[in-house]
């Protein structure tokens, strides 16, 4: 007989054949349940993963309760099967086939010992699995000397999330005290599984997130970073965790970063904070942060996003925008300069007209310039035909960019009315002045001609064609009788060529308009 010594609750075990508990060995569970429960809880608390916890719990329970082999099964609800998470057995025992069969097996509800427990939601005790009709691994159990078995469900709010099973080389009878203990342990493990599932789900998000997620301590060090950090900045996880995070921050941003971190320690939340982090290759990346503190844990949970390209795009857009504004400003200045030059040329033109008028006119006649802006011209013109003929082309040229028919119409109308004004209003007296004004807007041209005469009434105009609309020759006969020279078509012509023709009450001032749209 080969005898091996197990662990703390040392038992003498037979390597093969039915288990024999020597009288000298204490019952394995009579006084151990509290220890088993404690050991299980500690194992769960110290484990990072379900697989690690499974190993430690199985080991702890097997050793505490004298079982030789343990397995933890996980319910895969999506697939509808149980899969083995981990196994453990007494190191001194050789159970290779049973261990491999367990690790490789899956069970549906009701099948095998784990499936049976899953189906009923109740613990199951099998005195000897070799003789059990619903135990597919029975042949292998027989070969490797396993007989007694116990399985319990791992429950979360009444739902089976896993199963633990234990095997012994002994044929064991049900033990109510042990059932109670293992039920409590099963609840512990079930809660652990639930928590680990949630954590693993969270870890998957944490690991797979394209954003840079981290947990930082109030001590200024990262506690945890996800793989995105390495992807963006190129540092290993260890490099990031072993230096104060402010070391990675651009020197110009450290002050604000420290201030922001301090505000987090007082419970403030941070949204859209931006700073620059130095990558391993020496370049800087703009990061935009959202951070929430947990003062009770002295930690900060934060997510950062690399917005370097956005920042660069914003800078580029701003530069282009500035360039565009500058270009428009330069264009406006050019246009303004051009307008000023044109205006100056027009002024010089008008001044030249005045000078020419002064040189060619006899006596004191002079053209007085009140305004010489291209859009507003106002002059005092002596009542001579010469002065009128000199001014008329300049006025016409102010509308030279207009359509030819418009330019022709207003030019002819202006000339007719100006000659009327100097002849009839000013009596061709060079000492008297006709005031003329020209205003141009985008929509209309406005001309005003005010003569110094006493005005007239329509009844005085029977020598004009406008008073004889039915006979275009009658006014000529009137003029002949009055001894007037031929003419008289002026007003009629103007009325036909402009859009508005308005005299003042005295009829010594006329305004005419030509619309441009």
Partner 1 sequence: MQIVERSVGGVTILDLKGVLIEDDGDDVFRDAVNGLVDRGRTQVLLNMAEAPQIDSTGLGVLASKYVTLRRRDGQLKLCNISARTRRLLETMKLLKVFEVFDTEADAIASFGRP
Which residues would be at the binding site for partner 1 (CB under 8 A)? 385, 389, 408, 412, 415-416, 419, 465, 472-473, 476-477, 479-480, 485-490, 492-493, 496-497
Tell me whether residue 199 or residue 408 sits nearer to partner 1 (CB atom): 408
Shortest CB 362 distance to partner 1, Å: 16
Task: For the CB of residue 476, give the shortest distance to partner 1 in the complex, in Å.
Answer: 5
Judged by CB, which is closer to partner 1: 338, or 484?
484
Q: How far is the CB of 430 from partner 1 (least distance, A)?
A: 16
3-state secondary structure of 310: helix
Single out the residue of 89, 28, 37 nearest to residue 59, CA to CA. Answer: 89
d(Cα 170, Cα 18) in Å, to the nearest integer?
6
List the beta bridge partners of residue 74: 83, 162
Compute the radius of gyration of the chain from its Cα atoms.
Answer: 54
334 vs 480 by CB, closer to partner 1 = 480
Q: Which token pair is 336?
A: 């303004």
Q: What is the C-alpha separation between 346 and 165, in angstroms, rounded?
A: 108
Q: Rounded CA gap, 338 and 165, in Å?
A: 97
Query: How many CB atoms neighbour CB 94 within 10 A?
Result: 14
Q: How far is the CB of 486 from partner 1 (least distance, A)?
A: 4
Give start and end residues of each alpha helix (H) in 209-307.
227-233, 237-241, 254-265
Tell me how crowded residue 443 is: count the other CB atoms within 10 A of its CB: 9
CB of 404 to partner 1, least distance (A): 10
Select from 303, 304, 294 the least CA-distant residue to 218. Answer: 294
Q: With the C-alpha atoms ordered 100, 102, 103, 106, is the resulting torsion angle positive or negative?
A: positive
* For partner 1, the closer CB: 32 or 417: 417
- Cα(255)–Cα(266) distance, rounded to whole angstroms? 17
Q: Provide the minimum distance between the beta carbon of 414 and partner 1 in the complex, in angstroms, as a whole number.
A: 12
CB of 505 to partner 1, least distance (A): 25
Residue whose CB is less far from partner 1, 157 or 485: 485
Shortest separation between residue 324's beta carbon and partner 1, angstroms? 47
Nearer to partner 1, 48 or 473 (CB): 473
C-beta pairs of 386-391 under 8 Å, 24+ apart in sequence: 386/357, 386/360, 386/361, 387/357, 387/361, 387/422, 387/430, 388/415, 388/418, 388/419, 388/421, 388/422, 388/434, 390/353, 390/356, 390/357, 390/360, 391/353, 391/367, 391/418, 391/436
Query: Cβ 490 to partner 1, closest distance in Å?
Result: 4
Tell me whether residue 318 or residue 496 sits nearer to partner 1 (CB atom). 496
Q: Which is nearer to partner 1, 226 or 411 (CB)?
A: 411
What is the Cα–Cα distance from 40 to 54, expressed in whole angstroms?
A: 10
Q: Which is nearer to partner 1, 5 or 473 (CB)?
A: 473
């Amino acid at each position: 007989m080969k005898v091996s010594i197990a662990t703390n609750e040392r038992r003498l075990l037979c390597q093969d054949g039915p288990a024999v508990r020597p009288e000298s060995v204490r019952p394995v569970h009579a006084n151990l349940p509290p220890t088993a429960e404690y050991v299980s809880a500690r194992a769960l608390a110290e484990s990072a993963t379900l697989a690690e916890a499974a190993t430690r719990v199985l080991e702890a329970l097997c050793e505490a309760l004298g079982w030789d082999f343990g397995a933890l099964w996980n319910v895969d609800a999506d697939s509808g099967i149980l899969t083995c998470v981990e196994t453990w057995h007494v190191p001194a025992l050789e159970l290779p086939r049973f261990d491999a069969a367990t690790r490789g097996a899956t069970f549906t509800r009701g099948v095998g010992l784990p499936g049976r427990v899953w189906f009923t939601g109740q613990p199951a005790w099998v005195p000897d699995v070799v003789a059990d009709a619903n135990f597919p691994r029975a042949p292998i159990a027989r070969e490797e000397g396993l007989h007694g078995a116990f399985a319990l469900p791992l429950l979360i709010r009444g739902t089976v999330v896993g199963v633990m099973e234990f095997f012994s080389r002994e044929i064991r009878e049900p033990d109510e005290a042990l059932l109670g203990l293992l039920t409590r342990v099963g609840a512990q493990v079930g809660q652990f599984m639930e928590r680990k599932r949630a954590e693993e789900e969270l870890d998957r998000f944490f690991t797979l997130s394209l954003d840079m997620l981290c947990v930082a301590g109030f001590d200024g060090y990262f506690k945890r970073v996800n793989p995105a950090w390495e992807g963006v900045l190129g540092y290993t996880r260890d490099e990031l965790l072993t230096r104060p995070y402010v070391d990675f921050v651009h020197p110009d941003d450290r002050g604000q970063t420290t201030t922001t971190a301090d505000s987090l320690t007082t419970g403030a939340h941070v949204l859209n904070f931006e700073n620059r982090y130095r990558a391993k290759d020496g370049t800087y990346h703009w990061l935009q942060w959202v951070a929430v503190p947990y003062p009770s844990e002295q930690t900060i949970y934060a997510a950062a996003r690399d917005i370097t390209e956005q920042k660069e795009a914003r800078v580029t857009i701003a530069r282009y925008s500035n360039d565009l504004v500058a270009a428009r400003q330069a264009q406006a200045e050019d246009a303004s300069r051009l307008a000023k030059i044109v205006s100056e040329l027009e002024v010089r033109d008008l001044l030249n007209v005045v000078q020419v008028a002064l040189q060619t006119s006899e006596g004191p006649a002079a053209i007085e310039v009140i305004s010489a802006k291209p859009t507003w011209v106002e002059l005092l013109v002596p009542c001579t035909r010469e002065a009128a003929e000199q001014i008329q082309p300049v006025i016409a040229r102010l509308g030279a960019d207009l359509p030819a028919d418009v330019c022709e119409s207003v030019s002819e109308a202006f000339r007719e009315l100006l000659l009327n004004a100097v002849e009839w209003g000013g009596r061709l007296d060079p000492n008297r002045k006709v005031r003329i004004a020209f205003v141009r807007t985008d929509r209309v041209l406005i001309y005003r001609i005010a003569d110094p005469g006493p005005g007239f009434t329509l009844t005085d105009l029977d020598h004009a064609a406008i008073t004889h609309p039915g006979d275009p020759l009658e006014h000529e006969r009137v003029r002949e009788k009055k001894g007037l020279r031929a003419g008289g078509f002026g007003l009629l012509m103007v009325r036909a060529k402009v859009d508005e023709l308005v005299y003042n009450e005295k009829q010594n001032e006329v305004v005419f308009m030509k619309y441009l749209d």
